[in-house]
Amino acid sequence: MRAARPLHLVLLLALLLSACGGDLPAETTGTVPLPPDATAQTGAPASTDSAAPITVYFSDPNASGNRGGPDADLAAAIDAARLTVDVAIYDLNLWSIRDALLDAHRRGVQVRMATESDNRDRAEFNELADAGIPILGDRREGLMHHKFVVIDGFQVWTGSMNFTLGSAYHGNNNLLRIDSTRLAENYTHEFEEMFTDDLFGDASARGDTPNPTVTLDGVLVENYFSPDDGVEQHIVDLINNAEESVYFMTFSFTSNAIGAALLLAQQRGVEVAGVMETTQVDNSGSEYESLRDAGIDVRLDGIPGDMHHKVFIIDGSVVVTGSYNYSRAAEETNDENVLIIYSAGIAELYMQELVDVMLAAGD
């Protein structure tokens, strides 16, 4: 496997090219090929193959308006739904998504929603409920923290992005669209546990995800749910097996086990670096100080909104992403989902986002 370019060199090159008005050249590393039609988009989409099995979107925290962000393609996908739309979302105030769900319901598509009860009284949820769309809150102390949509049993949208103005237009977030009936089966299974069985959080911790591994055009994707599937240990194992680099972008990071794995990785010569959300590092149990004290390049984000990613990039060929913050609550009590994607091409897309986030963060 060709060695990944060290992050400090990538950042230096990005700074030099920025000063010269140039762009950072893309580089793909690792042994797992990117599906030829996978794409990354920020804001309004460029030309793309609508049949792409994996599409990655990144929000633009410097967006000048509240239109044309990652929610635009999600709304269009809901507009194209023919049979079913299942939504598990922590929070929602985007009118684009509200209107798309209302339109789908009016034309006879079955629309169902599960949400976090703390946010259930938002005006947008009430408008959806008043139109006859069933919405179930979790009604418990832990969080229904998912951010996913399943459309017509074959298309999954998921990531770190809540369906809010803050997430889509003023923070750092990622959203993925994946076309796969097997992944859709996983997310539908999780949705039915909540919506039909009324089992949230540790009440649903059965560890029975139908398809924990899926291959899409030669790319291996692992899919786990929390607290069902022991997500933390899967991430620790990935870090323990890292050979060259572990980079991260984390909103909340209080997991002692993952923090310890990063320290061990650095001690054996793996390059470790990342960015954390500024408002979270003073919280009880934050790993920020221990990582900084060990000499790891950990930066505080540099945008007014939230740096809301929950991402690890390992050896330039593996990406961990989803709704799962690296915390005890995410591991033990919240409803969460995680994707582990073994693709150097997908990893390169997230590396480009990491460089942008780190440059905004400064030293």
CATH code assigned at 228: 3.30.870.10
Which pLDDT does position 63 carry in this prediction?
85
Q: 55 is written with which tokens?
A: 């599409």
CA 61, distance to chain mean position in Å, is: 16
In a domain, 13, yes or no: yes
Q: Which domain holds residue 160?
A: 7-17+38-361
In a domain, 119, yes or no: yes
Strands (E), 264-335: 271-276, 297-300, 310-314, 318-322
In a domain, 123, yes or no: yes
In a domain, 337, yes or no: yes
The burial of 268, by beta-carbon neighbours within 10 Å (0-12 exposed, 13-18 middle, 19 or more buried), is given as exposed
The burial of 67, by beta-carbon neighbours within 10 Å (0-12 exposed, 13-18 middle, 19 or more buried), is given as middle
For the question of residue 60 being annotated catalytic, the response is no
**Catalytic pick from 138, 308, 309, 335?**
308
HEC secondary structure over 172-196: ECEEEEEECHHHHHHHHHHHHHHHC
Q: Which residues pair with 247 in a beta bridge?
A: 273, 313
Q: How many independent structural domains does the chain possess?
A: 1
Return the amino acid letter for 329.
A
For the question of residue 237 being annotated catalytic, the response is no
Q: 81 is written with which tokens?
A: 């739904």
In a domain, 33, yes or no: no
In a domain, 251, yes or no: yes
For the question of residue 147 being annotated catalytic, the response is no
Which pLDDT does position 12 carry in this prediction?
52
Are 160 and 309 spatial neighbours (Cβ–Cβ below 8 Å)?
Answer: yes
* 77: helix, strand or coil: helix
**Catalytic pick from 310, 335, 356, 363?**
310
Largest Cα span, the chain: 58
Which pLDDT does position 18 carry in this prediction?
52
In a domain, 236, yes or no: yes
In a domain, 24, yes or no: no
**Catalytic pick from 71, 138, 315, 335?**
315
Which pLDDT does position 44 carry in this prediction?
34
Are 41 and 305 spatial neighbours (Cβ–Cβ below 8 Å)?
Answer: no
- What span, in angstroms and rounded, lies between the C-alpha atoms of 252 and 319? 18
E strand or H helix at 358? helix 344-361
Under-50 pLDDT residues of the chain: 1-3, 23-38, 43-51
